[in-house]
Amino acid sequence: MNVEMRDTRRSFGKNRAVAGVDLQLGTGVFGLLGPNGAGKTSLLRMLATVLPPTSGEIRLLGRDPRGAAARREIRRRLGYLPQSLGYYPSFTVVEFIEYFALLKEMPSSAVPGAVAAAVERVDLGAKARAKLRTLSGGMLRRVGIAQAIVNNPDLLLLDEPTAGLDPEQRVHFRRLLRSLGGNSTVVVSTHLVEDVGTACSEVALMSAGKVVFRGTPDELTARGAGHEVGDAPLERGYSAVLAEARS
């Protein structure tokens, strides 16, 4: 298992963002669904070793991230796209991806090839030497995805990766996700259920800091039978599970 969480909790003052989550994930693409404020981003930040849990246990790639050496090893094999990607406007696309490849402690000799491959995978070859300040929001999102996958991570964490992508790029990205999920654990947090339906092998639905559903997209769809809220079958399943959790 690349991800093991046991009764993981995270609070910010009196606000419980994550209220006891148990999760075990192997390879594959795992979708994390839920309304705003459900705790998806806090959960992802804990998996990215950016935010420590208030209580509970986390093991990533077989290691306990509380130890400095283990945390460093985890981070070498980790890819992370935060919800709001900050960037350095004066850097070019290649410089930005290369900078984070080096901070991930990739071997220097492997960096140029890995950067070029990552740029091509997100279809940004035409903008490789463009300054980040000249790029559109969707292109910046693709730069963020490229820096996340540049080290071929064993654990890839993507927070709202398709936000700002046009439909064509979204289709391309889902294909990329499926290929990445063949060898690694990919966790995608999103509120776009169509992303989950086409790209994810498994899905969890969070509400009020807890996982209220876990199964395949088909199983989530089946939960929506007879439910009227939602335009697509998967959306009806999503709404039905949420309504049940809230009641």
Contact positions toward another protein, by CB under 8 A?
A: 48-52, 65-66, 68, 71-73, 75-76, 78, 80, 82, 84-88, 90-91, 94-95, 98-100, 102-105, 108, 111-113, 115-117, 119-120, 123, 125-129, 147
Q: Minimum CB separation from another protein for residue 26, in Å?
A: 21
Residue 15 burial by Cβ neighbours in a 10 Å radius (0-12, 13-18, 19+): exposed
Coil, strand or helix at 188: strand
Q: 79 or 197, CB closer to another protein?
A: 79
Q: 121 or 236, CB closer to another protein?
A: 121
- Listed in sequence order, the residues at least 6 apart from 195 whose beta carbon sits closer than 8 Å to its beta carbon are 31, 162, 170, 174, 188
Q: 24 or 55, CB closer to another protein?
A: 55
Q: 78 or 200, CB closer to another protein?
A: 78
The H-assigned helical ranges of the chain are: 40-47, 68-76, 93-103, 111-121, 137-149, 167-180, 193-199, 217-222, 233-246
Q: Minimum CB separation from another protein for residue 204, in Å?
A: 21
**For residue 75, which of 86, 87, 60, 85 has the smallest C-alpha distance?**
60
Q: 53 or 217, CB closer to another protein?
A: 53
Q: 123 or 194, CB closer to another protein?
A: 123
Distance CA 57, CA 47 (A): 11
- Listed in sequence order, the residues at least 6 apart from 99 whose beta carbon sits closer than 8 Å to its beta carbon are 88, 91
Q: What is the b/e burial string over 59-97, where b = at least 16 CB atoms within 10 angstroms of the residue's CB?
A: bbbebebeeeebbebbbebbbbbbeebeeeeebbbbebb
Q: Minimum CB separation from another protein for residue 245, in Å?
A: 29
Q: Minimum CB separation from another protein for residue 50, in Å?
A: 5
Q: 19 or 128, CB closer to another protein?
A: 128
Q: Minimum CB separation from another protein for residue 130, in Å?
A: 9
Q: Minimum CB separation from another protein for residue 234, in Å?
A: 30
Which two tokens mark 5?
């969480």
**For residue 181, which of 168, 195, 192 has the smallest C-alpha distance?**
195
Q: Minimum CB separation from another protein for residue 41, in Å?
A: 11
